[in-house]
Structure 1
């Protein structure tokens, strides 16, 4: 990224001072070159900061002026003149020539090494590039959300804000349909239309500069052979590579927005036909609806359902908005249904976990903490209701704000995952297990621990004794005491099952 000349002058520790050419301090530096050549001009391509001690500087004032003029003609951004070696100070005639030409002439004192300037500008350039990429990474999703929520006008506003420029959309007749922040003067608008007309025969995009120094960058809005108009950016400086990426992203979104009406009409016609068929046929043939839903399935015809249980209507709106944005970015159809505060999304059977995780991650932290996500296993298309029920159960068992819970992972813990079941088991634990806990507390025994080991070993004495670290005869005595305190028959499988669930619910 280019660094303004004014920025390097603002670094106090470098002690660089402007001696001449103040009119050019708005220039930008892309590269730092150190040279003592008499004729360095052929090696320069523009936007350099040339550092020299003037070792081979021409001896005459006219020669030094010509030297500066030729550097300026090569597009050099500024000249850094090191003093204290060949020259004790910057020659006065060189300062006068810099003022006349308008090329910044900087004095670099002897204590400031040229390498320090090179390092500082390189670091600043890297920082600016990082900031630019960060700006783009934040602007792109904002533009995508703008498309979903507010359409083309919001995209134009977001692009203009990100580029700090004027953005226009012109239709195929060169009429302005959208502009932000304000329409340019009529003369500049005429220049825009002229640039568009000149480039239409050559290609779909181009860059031009008007007499006032504005840069006009434009791209054709369209897909295939269908053209909807032009997207134009009017800026005070040429767009950077990152700016061009944002422009291209906005163009793609605008193309989607312009293409959307035709696709919406087609979808609406299919839906209307389906509804009419359902109304006209008493047998209610749902095959057209299943055929429409097949767009959501993978190549094998499998689907999975994502359920989001939301505590608030704000969370419902957030989940729906993010899902819509992700569908636009991916280009996949969105099948989303809301019942009360549960949002259901039908996804392809192949690899929907990443989609579900990204949806959860994209929610604002405050909203995410009020949502529980559940994901069903793979099902055939006609098992939609089963998949939706499984996703709902998984969501009920998930923690708020966590990654989506998959239905298949609930095996072995599903009963303890649901609040209603858990309350019953908690009551059972408190009622039935109290005699054991009181005995252990009064006598320092481990009856409850021993009983759990026995139950989890399914009555196998050797395995249970090994788990508790005692002899099997000791374990038998403990279980006999526990059975007497509980007043139950541990030979009954149903009794053992209830007791184990009660212990698991209690957390022992």
Structure 2
């Protein structure tokens, strides 16, 4: 954009500054020029336009009122044209501009207003031509960066050659794809990810300690998949800077689409690997080659893990990518496959599994703060030919953990009792039938009479059927305990002194906890 100083420094216009206005006013951008003799031009003058006038309004309104009207329109300033009738700019106008802090310029009677209009048009044309040339050159540089595999980082490098802006590219999972001159902590990354889930996403965000940032949306396959983040609010960006950022965001869409295609291929290959392991037969012979393609040694020890969210029947978009990033950061070769209910990982691993699995849980929780991740460890296979059993075990343990009340987030197959695995294999309807058949009479009795039969039954089973220990824990007499257990037998038809009946009662309570 051109400025008042640009016009003043052109000798052909013969402009003289009478009132410079506030500090820096002469260097503020001017949008256009507006010739008017209306007493109140505020309805027609646009923001940052330069008002050209000969003062023909002077017989209808005082200079102070005219200046106030111009100021209300937020004009860039006033140019007063001298003529034969007014060879000197009226002192009242000069004083009014000084009081209102509005820049006032005087133009020689020998120079018509059309000279200013022509100069402004030429400046505007030159500016637009320069911007278009710059956009073409920038487009060539961006295309070259993308074609040579420079990725999102290459795009930011091209931008920063022209504009020293703090920039980052962040995807909808809160992952920084590229950073140049910006400092974004975990909170800021989460804020960007949350903003991208909104429909429509915001164009500005408060990123806490990083300040207010502008978002230029990056779409891949019909959706917003990332944002080009500039750590400046929109009003602090010039039009040229905004145009450059918008252009870069369009090129980033190509890069994000390419990355998504690669990830989709990798995920499909990983899912096919699980199918090969489970199907056995001829397809099992392909497993070693598929593992090698992911950098996993098929002849070494292989651990199988299954990860999901507690209480959820499905995974979330991006979960497999987060798991893959974790193992890449840990330097652990792994194949990560996303299923509908869990994410399975086959990894080369020697040594204890729990510490690494706990770190994985923490990493996933950082990305999905409102979810509780759980990991089932299926054990270790000595080579790819033995993968099927640990794969099945890991998923069964994970399924059990998904349905279990808050407890350890990481469990191995050996950590779970057989009864838990058996219950974990049942669907919710089966568990509900078991619970209702056995526990409903007890719960209805407790609800109607304010009783403690269910609490008593749990305590009795927790103390392995020891009468004295149970009575002490409940703070009741042993006879009271006997009466309560007898009532439970009457209501359910199951006697706690008989092993099959005690098993039924125990499984019903465990099923209730799973539900």
Shorter-chain-normalised TM-score: which range? 0.3 to 0.5
Q: TM-score if structure 2 supplies the norm length?
A: 0.44
Q: TM-score if structure 1 supplies the norm length?
A: 0.44
